[in-house]
Every structure is written in structure tokens, then in C-alpha cells.
Amino acid sequence: MAKKSASSKSLLVKKITKTELLDWASPQQQEGFEYGPYPLCLSGGYGAAKTWLACVKTLALCDIFPGSHWVIARRRWTELAKTTMQTFFKICPPQAYQPFGRRSDSEKILRLNNGSTIFWMHLDDPEVTTVIQGIEINGFFIDQCEEVDEEIFEKLSSRLGRWDKVEMPMEMIDAHPNWVWRNRPSEDGVLGSPIVPPYAMIACNPDNELHWVYRRFHEDSPDKYLSNGTDLETGEPIPSYADQGYKMLHMPSDSNKFLSQVSLDSLKNKSESFQRRYRRGEWGIPEGQIHDVNKLSRIPGDMKFLEKLLRRSNIFMTMDYGESSPNPVTWWAVDPDQNVFAFQEYYRGELGIVVLHRPLHELFGCTPGDVDPPRRADHDL
């Protein structure tokens, strides 16, 4: 998805002239619609109309390129169905897929009358990686991307441009004689046929500066401007994310002129840390975060599993000291493959900052010979 030509920035608005009649919620929203086909992140607070913009843009691209394939995804199916899809179908009327298309929420597919297809994908599906590895698409939109692993974004990005059964609008090709998105040239040097430019879109609420979305997209991220290594085939440096056109648009809640005063007042009545992240859309807010453990990361085990893990792992202990609330303590095992397991936790009030040393066999109710602690050290981080 290397950045190719500045002339392509306006491809979308030149084709869909009726969008000039849209009353944009904010300048950022219009800029997001017109940007591309390079990776775009819509970052901001609640009610900033990020999802609405991405859905409108996806539908416009479906209209521009008949027969194209697109993915709209979110981490959980319930949230995808109740939020993202509801927003989408407020914009997409039944006339867009009736009578020649098909809508099947159970099959997670929408086929429009012009042959363009949208695949609904929830990313907590254990088989999602296998599905992504075989899918052929022209673009995707991931909603609430701060909840999604970087690997998913990378795999979906690698599938862009794979679907070439698209009716390319000749008026657009004629208007851009130096069209850079094409199939590979033939062995005798004949130029490949034109294909749909790759569109990668995500929307998110801000997180901390260590998050992969920040590293790739945020204008203040040093990583955004560094080369991504060396191409093994050509030996040339891989362009930085900035050179590939990665862009983040900041969309605070207040920027949406259509957001009701009731909703805005509700956001203003929240705590300062909440407002920084969910109203003003500022990155780098460590406090007040809720960490949700993916169910796929929960490994069922018994004492035998734990004993085997402890024999081959280094053991660490972390403590979050609190003056007024109990001190949560978590025990971690790091195996030789650098996999990290949280295997024990407890809460204890009125403790102070101390290091607790207990023999492992006592901690887990084993006999002294069942667990071999001498070769490991306990660390209080």
C-alpha cells in the first residue's frame, strides 16, 4: 500500500458528485471521505460520527467499483450487529440490494444490486485468521480498532487488491492516464490491467502511545517516520508508514455539529480523564483504562498443567499498591518461548509495599517435591 500519486486523493469526490450535497458533520469528516486510497485512521471521541463516515465511504466505493469486495469488521459480533451494522443500514436503503442483491445477516454478507459485496466479520472468531488468509478484497473498515490486534490489521492489509473481478469505470481510467494500480505486467512488458486501489480504514477511541495504532498513524509517533526494514528481494528499504500515506484524523465529540446538546452535556459531566479520551480524543491516557482479557487468551488448566509450566518458566510477581483499596498481586510465568501466563492473583488490604516470599509448594498446596523453585528468582516489579 505504498503511497503512489497525489492525484488519486480526489478520485472519490470526482466520481460521486452527489456527495457535494452532503452536509458534513465536521471538516474532518469531509477530509476523511476525500482522503485515500491510503491507510486512514479516524480517531476521536464518542459521537464524532466516525463510523457513519466510514460506512458512507464504503458504500460510495461500492458504487464507484461495481463487483468489488469489502470487509467491515469489529472485534465482537454482538457489537458489530448492534452498532456498526445498524449505522450502516441507516445509510444503505433496501433499494440498494433489492431485487438483484441479497442481504443475509446470518451468513454475514451483503450483496448490492451492482454486484459489490460486503462481508461482515467479527474478529473474536477462533477461525478468523484462517478466513482472512483466504479472503480476496479491495478494502476494509475495522471499527473500534483499539480493541483489535495489530496482526489482524496486517493480515487484512495483505489481502487488499486480491479481488480483480471488478468493473473498472473507464471514465476514471481515462481521467487518470497514469493509473498506478494495476495487475502485474506480462513477461513481454505489456502493462497490466487496472485494478481497484486498496482502501484500509479504521476507527478508534484513543489509547496510549504504546498502542500499534498510535505507532503507525499518529503524527507525533517517531515510529511512523522510520523505515520498516529492508525488502529481502530488492534489498531496498521498506517505506515508512508516513511514506505509505498513513494518516490519522482527530475527531473530537464537539466537532460533530449534529451531536445533540444532551449527549454533549453528558460527556462534559464526566471525569477529566474520561473527557480527555472519550470527548476530546487525546492519546496517551494511561489512567482509567479498562483491560478486557480476550476469552481466547484464557487457558484452562489443572495442577499438573501448572506444575509443568512452573518447572520450565521464570516467575515474577507484580503489585499495584493502593492506600485505600486492597493491593492486587499477580503472579506471572514466562516460559522459554517468551509466552507470558498470569496464573495466580490475590487482593489484600492494609499491607503496605512489601515483598511476599512463600515457597511455591505452599502457595499451590503441593508437597515440597512437586515444584522445583530453587532455580528461579521471584521479582517484585
pLDDT, averaged across the chain? 83
Structural domain of residue 326, as residue ranges? 300-363
Whether 248 and 137 share a structural domain:
yes
Domain boundary among 251, 268, 285: 268
Whether 112 and 216 share a structural domain:
yes
Confidence of residue 5 (pLDDT cuts 50, 70, 90): very low
Task: Give the model's pLDDT for residue 362.
Answer: 53
| Angle between helical axes of 27-34 and 50-64 (0-180°, round to 10) | 30
Residue 370 lies in a domain: no
Distance CA 325, CA 10 (A): 55
Whether 264 and 339 share a structural domain:
no
Task: Give the model's pLDDT for residue 178.
Answer: 85
- pLDDT reading at 294 higher than 50: yes
Task: Give the model's pLDDT for residue 381.
Answer: 32
Task: Give the model's pLDDT for residue 377.
Answer: 38
Whether 322 and 260 share a structural domain:
no
Residue 90 lies in a domain: yes
Distance CA 111, CA 119 (A): 9
Confidence of residue 139 (pLDDT cuts 50, 70, 90): very high
Contacts of 366 (CB under 8 A, 6+ apart): 303, 307, 360
Residue 251 lies in a domain: yes
Task: Give the model's pLDDT for residue 358.
Answer: 47
Residue 51 lies in a domain: yes
Distance CA 288, CA 71 (A): 32
Q: What is the DSSP letter of 225?
A: G
Average pLDDT value for residue range 43-70: 95
Confidence of residue 219 (pLDDT cuts 50, 70, 90): very high
Whether 165 and 50 share a structural domain:
yes
| Top-confidence residue, 58 or 312 | 58
Task: Give the model's pLDDT for residue 155.
Answer: 94
Whether 111 and 173 share a structural domain:
yes
**Range with the lowest mean pLDDT among 41-55, 189-203, 254-268, 278-292?**
278-292
Whether 60 and 186 share a structural domain:
yes
Confidence of residue 264 (pLDDT cuts 50, 70, 90): very high
Residue 149 lies in a domain: yes
Task: Give the model's pLDDT for residue 291.
Answer: 62
Q: For residue 110, what are the β-bridge partners? A: 103, 118
Whether 27 and 138 share a structural domain:
yes
Residue 284 lies in a domain: no
**Range with the lowest mean pLDDT among 200-214, 230-244, 359-373?**
359-373
Question: What's the domain count of the chain?
Answer: 2
- CA 300, chain centre distance (Å): 27
Whether 103 and 216 share a structural domain:
yes
| Top-confidence residue, 15 or 77 | 77
Distance CA 368, CA 296 (A): 33
Residue 377 lies in a domain: no
Whether 183 and 318 share a structural domain:
no
pLDDT tens digits for range 153-171: 999 999 999 998 898 888 8
- pLDDT reading at 173 higher than 90: no
CATH number for the domain spanning 73: value is 3.40.50.300
pLDDT tens digits for range 337-359: 888 888 887 766 554 444 444 44
Residue 93 lies in a domain: yes
